[in-house]
Amino acid sequence: MTSDIRSMPHYCVLMRFFNKSLPCLKTEYRWQGRGYAETVQEKLVLTHNWKKATTPTERSAVARQVIVEWGGIKTISSGTLSRHAESTMTPSIHAPFSGIASYSKLLAIAYPERYAIYDSRVSACLNALQINAGLSAGVAFNYAPGRNNVIGNPISNRGFTQQHEFKVKTLKKNGWKRVTRDGTYSLYLRTLRCCLEDISGGYSLQDLEMALFANAEIECEKAMRRPERSPSTHGSKDRRLRNGAFSP
């Protein structure tokens, strides 16, 4: 199975990216005013809280901590949080795509050595890296929903994932292999695990995810600035939108 991953076009692109970005991660990672060490410590506290939770009510409370308070996903019902909490007790790499940005956060906290977060930034970065590497037939990962005007905001119709040439169906039409929606998380995790096996330096699965997360805007903007893009998709309007972008 790992040999299949290593023969796929996205694998070499990601290996080059990780070998370049991981040595800088601990000093350059910043998110909402927090650095690498602070973020990792927050995750350790949440993992400890999850391990202490022994009842469905306690697990649902930790799920709220992880997904809503720490993860920033505000529009999620108590019922969905409870379902995510209970399904995390019997985790599977073959989880459905629906709700992936929410439940992957909880899986990554509950089992940090086996699972990683798959959200809008990570999913966009996976495709942007391949585009920036010049692949003509890459692996098109499905985009998790988000509201960042650089990554992709369906409400404002701004950002990388909202532009026609970067949509998954367009990539597929242009020769890319589209990952099935419910196979997305499985391929993502298997890819990261393969990369982790082949990278020296004592990194963790969360390090690889954090590198994708931290570099998502950089890679998406780089893809949108590519000189070979047509004027209709790379005009002054797009530049104004990117300059006014904000993070959720």
Question: How does pLDDT run along the chain (248 residues), one tens digit per residue?
Answer: 455 999 999 999 999 999 999 999 999 999 989 999 999 999 999 999 999 999 999 999 999 999 999 999 999 999 999 999 999 999 999 999 999 999 999 999 999 999 999 999 999 999 999 999 999 999 999 999 999 999 999 999 999 999 999 999 999 999 999 999 999 999 999 999 999 999 999 999 999 999 999 999 999 999 999 887 643 344 333 332 333 332 23
Q: Could you tell me which of 93, 142, 82 has the C-alpha nearest to residue 116?
A: 93
β strands within the chain, DSSP E: 30-31, 34-35, 139-140, 177-178
Give residue for tokens 């805007």: 217
Tell me whether strands 139-140 and 177-178 are parallel, antiparallel or unpaired.
Answer: parallel
Let me know the angle formed at the C-alpha of 202 by 123 and 105, rounded to the nearest 5 degrees. Answer: 35
CA distances from 131 to 44, 100, 113 (A): 34, 23, 29
C-alpha 101/C-alpha 117 separation (Å) is: 7
Let me know the angle formed at the C-alpha of 143 by 126 and 28, rounded to the nearest 5 degrees. Answer: 45
Given a contact cutoff of 8 angstroms between Cβ atoms, the answer to whether 152 and 146 are in contact is yes
Q: Which helix (H) or strand (E) holds 112?
A: none
pTM given for the model: 0.90
